[in-house]
Each structure stands twice: as C-alpha cells, then as structure tokens.
Amino acid sequence: MQEFLAHGYAATSMDRVARAAGVSKATIYSHFKDKADLFAAIMQQLAEHKFATVFDPRDRTALQGDPRATIRTLALKMCAQAECDTRFCEFMRLTIGESGRFPELAQPYVENVAKPFIAALTDYLADQNLFKDPEVAARTLMGAMVYFVTLQEILHGKDSLPLAAERMVEGLVDLILPPSRA
C-alpha cells in the first residue's frame, strides 16, 4: 500500500513493490498475477479489516433494532473511521483519482465495499417496511455519507467547509427516516 500511496498507481512497479517488501519479484508474482490484482487484494483487505470495524455485511445482527438509532450509529462510525484513518483516506483518494485512467481500480471497491453494504442495508430497510423502494433509500443514505466523508476528509474540506459529523448524521436521519415508533 505504501508504494501506491507514495508513487500513485501508474508509477508503482512490481519491482518497487518487491524491493519495499524485501522479496523477489517472482515471489510477488507467485501471489498476484499483476499490479491490478495486487491493488484489488489491498482493497479487499481494507474491506475486510477497516470497513468491518464500521459494518460487516456478513454479520446479519449488525443491522437490527430501531432504524433511526441503527442508521445514526452506523453513520457516526463511518465518519469516525474516516477521520482517524488517514491512510484509508489517502488510499481512497488514490483510487478515485486513478480510476479515470484505470477503471478497473474502482471495481474492487464496488465489489468488496459498496455492493455488500448496499445489499445488507437494503435488506435491513426492506425488513423495516418504511420505504417503497428500500434499495433507493439505502443508496441515498450511503451516498450522502460517502459524499460527506469524501468532502470533509478525502478532499480536505473540513477546514474550508466545516460541518460536524453529528449534525450531518442527525439531519440525514431526520430527512430520510420517519420519527421513531416508540
């Protein structure tokens, strides 16, 4: 990861990766078919280790209970993770920036992060029977939070366009979800 972050995707060679890892290039190629495969493996590892601290879509108990409280907790965790994990933000900045020239770089994010997250959130919202189209609601919630994190953390907007995460999350929950049924 540090080689991609330091040099960008295009300038990172498997020679550089092997040198940084202290192994031969043959060793790298015995595990990964090419640079794109290595990049995809890093994204999958991020999904399994970093994103799972926010939400693990394989854990069906992660989303349960009152929708307002559940969504609030999920969104606040997402903001906290992005704020404290600068390497994640750097990696996402790299992925977004390089995906214009290398569209295949974004695919591991879509497959390992966005797709399972949207599916699990859609299932949860469908179970709540609150929306005509739970997938659109899930994508709207995710989209608003991804945009917020992207603007604040990845594009460094928190200094010039500050907005507290708590305020954003509370406003989003009020906008999207009906009042609690309690």
Task: Please report, for the domain that includes residue 82, its CATH number.
Answer: 1.10.357
Model confidence, pTM: 0.81
Domain count, the chain: 1
Q: What is the pLDDT of residue 1?
A: 86
Q: What is the pLDDT of residue 180?
A: 67
Sites in the chain below the pLDDT cut of 70: 50-54, 56-58, 60, 180-182
- Phi–psi pair at 30, nearest 5 degrees: -75, -20
Q: What is the pLDDT of residue 79?
A: 92
Q: What is the pLDDT of residue 15?
A: 93
Whether 119 is covered by a domain: the verdict is yes
Q: What is the pLDDT of residue 31?
A: 94
Q: What is the pLDDT of residue 53?
A: 66
71-88 burial, b for 16+ CB within 10 Å, e for fewer? Answer: bbbbbbebbebbeebeeb
| Angle between the N-to-C axes of helices 2-11 and 14-21, in degrees from 0 to 180, rounded to the nearest 10 | 170
Whether 13 is covered by a domain: the verdict is no
Whether 3 is covered by a domain: the verdict is no
The domain containing residue 163 runs over which residues? 35-176
Q: What is the pLDDT of residue 63?
A: 86
